Structure 1
Amino acid sequence: MRVLPDNFNARLKSAVVGTADASLVFLGNFEVEGRWAIGEVGLRGVAFEAGRAVVNRMDEFALLLATEADHVVLKQEPDAGYLAYLADLGLELPRIITPGGQDPHRVVTEDALADPATVARLAQLADEGCWLSPHGVSTLEEELAQRSGLRLAAPGAAICKAVNSKVYSRHLADELGLRQAPGWACDTLAELDEAVAGARALLAGERKVVVKDAFGVSGKGIAVIETEDRLARLHRMVARRAGGAEQQRVGLVVEEWVAKDADLNYQFTVGRDGAVHLDFVKQALTDGGVHKGHRFPVSLTPAQLDELHEAAERIGKRLADDGYFGVVGVDAMVDPDGGLFPLVEINARNNMSTYQALVQATFAGAGKVALARHYVLRLRTELAFDELRRLLDGVLLDRDTGHGLLVNNFATVNAAGAVRGAATERSFDGRLYGMVVARSAAELTALDDEITARLAAVQGGGGG
């Protein structure tokens, strides 16, 4: 298998539709795992957390996955200054569809379904031969496809949910003989009982244990266990939740917490014909299991890269056998001795790296190093992009310099402010997502430090 140098948008369309000149309607329904987790017994409930408004505005990432031949459904029209900035970079921008009304706590799919005019517009696009390409497919996206007549450029919700489960990932690693941490996949309470007994033995040997919800995401649904008392409490909690469930089914993975030197994320696409193409390998930056960003290119030996290539090919073929096609992100780890754990979990949906693919190829090619991350801003009022652009003058990426910060989502900066009471003066946290591009590791660090320092000036006062 080889890494293909062609345009990712075109390769994606070829894989999921069969032709590179198709027109897709992109939908950024982030954290679709929340829908997949409904009815499942694990560590977390399915109630949306307080930060849901910010997560829902991650829909704006889809702007940079699309081209001018495509459409993107967004909860709100992007900031005009931000669109002008993207145009100044020479990026192709898709046609934007926004529902007539949006609820900050609703995913973009729900906003679209609630607006008859949006459904009617999508029906027109269906008549023109467009396809619906969601971040991930749940029953909500199936409903939108059915009501609009758009064909899904992805498998159905049942397949996507099944192969995205961490229980599936562990079973697949066993089947393929891929190295993984000692542990257990638990589909039933009886299997969980067995896993807990094994975990007790690990704890008695002064090792740590991690328990993962089958559909956990972004650090939610994961527990690191260091004592038998905590393990017992968790065991009782899950047993209570599963007590009334049919056949007492659960969805959990229990593993030894193993030493690692680095987290990796690699992405490949599986075509409708079963062909597998590796897109890229990146170092994933995490903190307590929460994704913080990516650094690339990654420093791996040829032997390590070959091992990941082979793993991607084998995993992709197996996913195709189970009816899956489209984007696949796989989390992996490097141990302190340089050995690989090539399959920690499968994300059968778009990944954060997916939305960097087009701009990465344009601005972070050979001879460049890059860091994809987000910066937190504490604001009292909304911040306009033009104000941010002035604040970051000289460190924002532009076509002349070819290095600096490329902002790839601005909507998340002000999203939390939309849910505050009209009379409150409370501050809110915004997230600024971007990709820092530099010519060397030292320059990358200096740019990141300068951006952080500049943004500190707006803390507590944004928007004037």
Structure 2
Amino acid sequence: MSLASGITKIHCGTFDAEQYWRGQELAKLPGLVDRENLRIVSMMDELLFAFCNPTEALITRKAMNPSHKQYLGDIGFKFYNNEFDLDGESKETGKSMLQLISEADQSAFATLAGEKPELDPFAAIPYTKEASERHGFGCRMPDMDIIRRVNTKTYSTEMKEQLGLRNDSFIVNHSSELQVLGETLLRQGSFLIKDNYGVSGQGNLLVESASILERVVSYTAMQENKGKLAQFVVELYLDKACDFSCQFMVTEDGAYQLISVQRLANDEFAYQESYTPEPAFLQMLESRGYFDLMERIAKGLYKDGYYGHVCVDSMQLRNGELIPLIEINARKSMSLIKNQVDRFLTPAGLQGNLRYYSVTTANAELQFEDVLAAMEQSDLLYRPGKDAGIIPLTANTLTINRKADKPYKGRLYVSMAGRHGEVRQELHQKLSGLLSSFSLQVMN
């Protein structure tokens, strides 16, 4: 769909929103910057097609792969998408999507602006209002200072206190506090240090020994000596059985709208997969007042000035205890995207697991089109009318780091559509084998 007439809503986004909320004055936890991973994350905006209908547009950093977009259109996802790269030939990720849109020539999206469509980003970050104003889009969002505040780990910690919940989290504002608290917690076992704006595997550090604590304290003190401010949340490492999350909306007038609950598979604190919980799990949550608590969190957020999408991370411990609030993410989420794909699959009686495949390869000739064709030939690709199949949700994430002279990383997001978990597991195994046939080493 290349014509952009009558567009009512524009989807776009930057998935590592936390780095754009984060102030330059804050100290960081030790860790390596993975440029290839950052480039992959910058391509994840393709996933937002799941929110689009034929009168809506998706603006992506790079134009979507034509074969991928054709396939999505064939199975029922029709939407407008830019046919040019917003960042030109660059592979650098310093500027967010919203900044790129705010700096784009006004003619770039002139055909979209006729009906004053609403700009609906994955997360409201700096430059959202500037992007809207430049191109004549509508934009309703809380003040940026409010958005920054409610997305901090300290805000989630304070919310636990306000709601009278079990709270294993401690707010730390200086390296000396971190040392004293850390030494105390190590006597009980391992603990986590969380960056105030950390996300999914980045900004979480597991401390299992005094030597690790000493290294973090020293690294933080060194930054403080240069004028940086320490702002961490420290919490005991709990004996977890499972992760799950709740997605809901807080409307502009303060109403609470429950959307879904999703079970999560995480690896080393990083998101790996979303899947539908069993009815018995949801009944257990209902009986323990989980959904009443989510509504109370929504009311607290609204009282503090926030409205919009929310994803609350939760867990259940091995002893059966619920930890209903780990942290609040005041934005859309991977699990919300999974729910959107499920809404598309529901009329066919199917459900999907949203997951990704991290790969490394030295295949400089790798093309997404070839992988798509191989999935079709192997009868793995989802088509309407099939009882099971795989929907590739991204394409550019697989090839953005492609190099001619050395191995590189890629990632492929998919939805495994089927009627039963066993079928989806079989699809997973077959796709892993197919990717290996392209000389792709699957890392997860």
**Cα contact 1:427–1:460 (8 A) shared by 2:** no
1:228 to 207, 210, 218: 210
Change (3 A) 1:364 1:451: farther
Letter in 1 for 2:10: V
Identity %: 25
Rounded Cα–Cα distance in structure 2 between residues aligned with 1:382 and 1:143:
39
Which residue does 1:142 correspond to in 2?
Answer: 129
Q: Which segment drifts farther, 136-145 or 444-453?
A: 136-145
Cα offset, 1:122, TM superposition: 4.0
Which residue does 2:370 correspond to in 1?
Answer: 387
2:80 to 80, 94, 97: 94
1:265 to 219, 222, 245: 245
Change (3 A) 1:102 1:64: farther
Q: Secondary structure at the match of 1:51?
A: helix
Cα offset, 1:131, TM superposition: 1.8
Letter in 2 for 1:152: C
Rounded Cα–Cα distance in structure 1 between residues aligned with 2:324 and 2:157:
11
Q: Provide, for residues 140-162 of structure 1, a one-character-per-residue CA deviation record: whole Å limited to 9, x for no partner.
A: 32332343343323323222111
Change (3 A) 1:460 1:243: same
Rounded Cα–Cα distance in structure 2 between residues aligned with 1:448 and 1:46:
30
Rounded Cα–Cα distance in structure 2 between residues aligned with 1:376 and 1:320:
38
Change (3 A) 1:348 1:398: same
Which residue does 2:3 correspond to in 1?
Answer: none
Q: Provide, for residues 264-300 of structure 1, a one-character-per-residue CA deviation record: whole Å limited to 9, x for no partner.
A: 1211111001111111111111111111111213451
Tell me, yes or no, if structure 1 residue 132 matches structure 2 residue 113.
Answer: no
**Cα contact 2:52–2:77 (8 A) shared by 1:** no
The residue correspondences of 1:179-328 to structure 2 (distance < 5 A) are 179-180=166-167, 182-186=168-172, 188-189=173-174, 193-194=176-177, 196-205=179-188, 207-245=189-227, 249-298=229-278, 300-306=281-287, 307-328=289-310
**Cα contact 1:259–1:336 (8 A) shared by 2:** yes
Q: Secondary structure at the match of 2:439?
A: coil
Q: Secondary structure at the match of 1:344?
A: strand
Rounded Cα–Cα distance in structure 2 between residues aligned with 1:48 and 1:444:
31
Change (3 A) 1:70 1:196: same
Tell me, yes or no, if structure 1 residue 403 matches structure 2 residue 385.
Answer: no
Q: Secondary structure at the match of 2:231?
A: strand
Which residue does 2:104 correspond to in 1?
Answer: 115
**Cα contact 1:23–1:70 (8 A) shared by 2:** yes
**Cα contact 2:151–2:330 (8 A) shared by 1:** yes
Rounded Cα–Cα distance in structure 2 between residues aligned with 1:161 and 1:230:
29
Q: What's the TM-score once normalised by structure 2's chain length?
A: 0.88
Q: What's the TM-score once normalised by structure 1's chain length?
A: 0.85
Rounded Cα–Cα distance in structure 1 between residues aligned with 2:13 and 2:413:
15
Cα offset, 1:326, TM superposition: 1.1
**Cα contact 1:136–1:160 (8 A) shared by 2:** no
The residue correspondences of 1:66-105 to structure 2 (distance < 5 A) are 66-96=52-82, 98-99=84-85, 101-105=88-92
Which residue does 1:354 correspond to in 2?
Answer: 336
Rounded Cα–Cα distance in structure 2 between residues aligned with 1:334 and 1:120:
51
Aligned length: 427
Cα offset, 1:405, TM superposition: 0.9
Q: Over aligned residues, Cα RMSD in angstroms?
A: 2.5
Letter in 2 for 1:405: I
Which residue does 2:322 correspond to in 1?
Answer: 340
Rounded Cα–Cα distance in structure 2 between residues aligned with 1:451 and 1:254:
39
Letter in 1 for 2:124: V
**Cα contact 2:54–2:80 (8 A) shared by 1:** yes
2:143 to 131, 143, 156: 156
Cα offset, 1:184, TM superposition: 0.4
Q: Secondary structure at the match of 2:360?
A: strand
Letter in 2 for 1:168: Y
Unaligned runs of 5+ in 2: 1-5
Q: Provide, for residues 402-424 of structure 1, a one-character-per-residue CA deviation record: whole Å limited to 9, x for no partner.
A: 4221111112111112xx4xxx4
Q: Provide, for residues 314-364 of structure 1, a one-character-per-residue CA deviation record: whole Å limited to 9, x for no partner.
A: 111111111111111111100112221111111111111222333211215
Unaligned runs of 5+ in 1: 1-20
Rounded Cα–Cα distance in structure 1 between residues aligned with 2:343 and 2:304:
31
**Cα contact 2:201–2:271 (8 A) shared by 1:** yes
The residue correspondences of 1:46-65 to structure 2 (distance < 5 A) are 49-65=35-51
Rounded Cα–Cα distance in structure 1 between residues aligned with 2:270 and 2:101:
29
Q: Secondary structure at the match of 2:182?
A: helix
